Amino acid sequence: METETQPNVSKEILLKAFNHMMLAKAMADIYEENRAIVPYVHSTSRGHEAIQLATAYQLTAEDWVSPYYRDESLLMGIGFEPYRLMLQLLAKADDPFSGGRSYYSHPSSLEENLPKIIHQSSATGMQAIPTTGIAQGIQYIEEFGLKEFKQNPVVICSLGDNSVTEGEVSEAFQFAALHQLPIIFLVQDNEWGISVTKEEARTADAYDFVAGFTGLGRMRVDGTDFAASFEAMKNAVEFVRAERKPLVVCAKTVLIGHHTSGVRREFYRQEDELINCRAKDPGDILRKSLLEIGLDEATLNEMEKTARSEAENAFQNALAAPDPSPESVEDFVFAPTPITEESGTRSPHGQEKIVMVDAAIHAIQEIMRKHPEALLYGQDVGERIGGVFRETVTLGQKFGKKRVFNTPIQEAYIIGSTVGMSAVGLKPIVEVQFADYIYPGINQLVTEISKSSYLSNGKFPVSNIIRVPIGAYGGGGPYHSGSVESILANIKGIKIAYPSNAADFKGLLKAAYYDPNPVIMLEHKGLYWSKVPGTEDAKRVSPAEDYILPFGKADITVKAEEQCIQEGRSIVIVTYGMGVYWAKAAAKNFNGQVEIIDLRTLIPLDEKLIFERVKAHGKCIVLTEEQINNSLAEALAHRISKNCFRYLDLPVEAIGARNVPAVPINLVLEKEMLPNSEKLSDKIQQMLSE
């Protein structure tokens, strides 16, 4: 993109920028002078003020921006005054972004008259995917006319230069270029990555790096010169607002302050290099420009003095503000869900049984017909094959390529983009092809999705459904058979379903759609088509369209005889997924002595029913397909033991797969590794005999 224009910026805007720069300088100085009473790690924007303010001044209330942790000047430029920024600096209760939960300059905002900001994390570059998801969502909204805008919204993702070496940033670049999304990636290049120099970290700057992404525009600008930056960002925003195409702006800046208050410049930088950076102080450059157009030194000095006074007053007021109450520590982990009770017709008369995979297709089809904000994407889910398990077959044909579409092989993008899609009011249903391939997306799950509601003070719960085919059967081998529920269950802030039959699957999928929180649907591949011997019961009559099954409600799928329970000759098995069918097969050998609880959802967990039934039986097995050591099943066994200790006749047993790193492809080895009904029967017999 051509940027060779003569800067022509009004005196009013130049003075506004100078005032903001003096505030930024005063704030950084005050933080440094008060290190003893500013206990939390923070960064400042010193050296980056010009490009940040130039960017901020272009934005409207309908635009979206994702600042990174050095972007306090950008935040001031869009309307956040020093006092409110300092409330976050000091982690106060009235911190407008996170309620005292997150670091300085980690914003989130839905304020009506300001540009919108999703939750921002500290993980360098990780905001690129969620923010590109916003642009993807805006493009979808425009395509289907779901909302009218006063003018075309623009999305800006701010990045540090060294973060561009992250693979997930490249995934965002690729998707933005592929789909021509209305986003600007603003890369602020100060040539440092903490103590890592540009020579140590990269072969090219962002401008040269993105040259290979066809369809991704690019431009350079001197980010220390406010007038040049303002003109460049004005051109950039106008281009994206009109053309709806992506652009990378590479802004050359300098780092005048410390990397953070905890990693100080004197640890790793030489004085001559610092002197060179200070010579390019954006405030000094702008001061010189203002003097050249007729402003007098006394006026500018008075502005600097006033800014210092304003910042000092704001700091003292922020110091005096109250801390969060301890009772608020668990607020906003999840947003309240409207689905709390089972409703609708589960088993309509006269209907044939369907397999689990069809239950998913029916549910999503009904959802998408009713809700234009619903869309489905992932690898190979489009109309050609409808998923490698045919789990989305016909949906692409029925709803078109704009609502059901294939993605590149980018698990991180598939998962992380749902943050931005959700923020603009859409409901993305996405798929990771196999559970074994979810690992590239774990970063987005942990860093962005799970923490978004909590660290945004409830403003941005991520409303999505992530479908994950899981489990082993029939020689799938080490990279297509894994179980990952224990890893996922350790990520606080997400919900997990694991249905074992078609009716539950459909009801839980509907509940997941209406839940405002992130949901992972774990779908056992061996149950999709009921081809595994003994899984015929996974087929069920398809529930009516109005049927919804809430999360956190386990089911007693096999009941023990009351006489056996009263005589102490019974046992309860707590399980899920394929474990339900191993347990059912084993139960046939014990004449009413075995009760089976199908958990149906792993988070939330129906602890009330579990503890109630364990207390009634006194004997319990927790059964999982996962490798047993350090598993969710072991943790649940401990929780049951702790809460039911006085009622237990024997220790709670946890049974799972052997502790090997992967599922072998050879069928003999696979069988030896996995649990099955025979192994379970042996354990039941042993426990009932004691």
Residues that are catalytic: 480
Tell how far CA 289 is from the center of its chain. 44
Return the residue matching tokens 């350090």.
630
CA-based angle 639:441:405, to the nearest 5?
120
Q: Phi and psi for 378 in degrees, rounded to 5?
A: 160, -170
Q: Phi and psi for 84 in degrees, rounded to 5?
A: -70, -35
Which H/E stretch holds residue 248?
Answer: strand 247-252
495-497 and 404-406 beta bridge pairing:
unpaired
Q: Can you read off the two tokens belonging to residue 13?
A: 């805007």
3-state secondary structure of 121: coil
| Per-residue three-class SS string for 167-223 | HHHHHHHHHHHHHCCCEEEEEEECCEECCEEHHHHCCCCHHHHHHHCCCCEEEEEEC
Which H/E stretch holds residue 103?
Answer: none
3-state secondary structure of 405: strand
Closest CA to 357 of 505, 555, 184, 512: 505
H-state helical runs in 321-376: 356-370
Residue type, 356: M
CB 588 within 8 A of CB 558: no
Q: Can you read off the two tokens belonging to residue 407?
A: 């993605």
Closest CA to 35 of 203, 248, 264, 244: 264
CA distances from 32 to 26, 37, 317, 394, 494 (A): 10, 10, 17, 61, 39
Gap between the terminal Cα atoms of the chain:
79
CA-based angle 255:172:148, to the nearest 5?
105
3-state secondary structure of 488: helix
Sheet of 594-598, strand order: 555-558, 594-598, 571-575, 620-627, 653-657
CA distances from 326 to 4, 250, 299, 323 (A): 55, 43, 47, 9
CA-based angle 292:294:296, to the nearest 5?
100
H-state helical runs in 529-571: 562-566
Q: Using the CB atoms, write b or e for 574-584: b if 16+ within 10 Å.
A: bbbbbbbbbbb
- The number of CA neighbours under 13 Å toward the Cβ of 348 is 12
Return the residue matching tokens 């798929």.
431
Closest CA to 551 of 491, 511, 596, 493: 511
Closest CA to 280 of 232, 231, 200, 226: 226
Tell how far CA 616 is from the center of its chain. 40
CA-based angle 220:225:229, to the nearest 5?
50
Closest CA to 363 of 594, 523, 183, 526: 523
Return the residue matching tokens 């993305």.
428
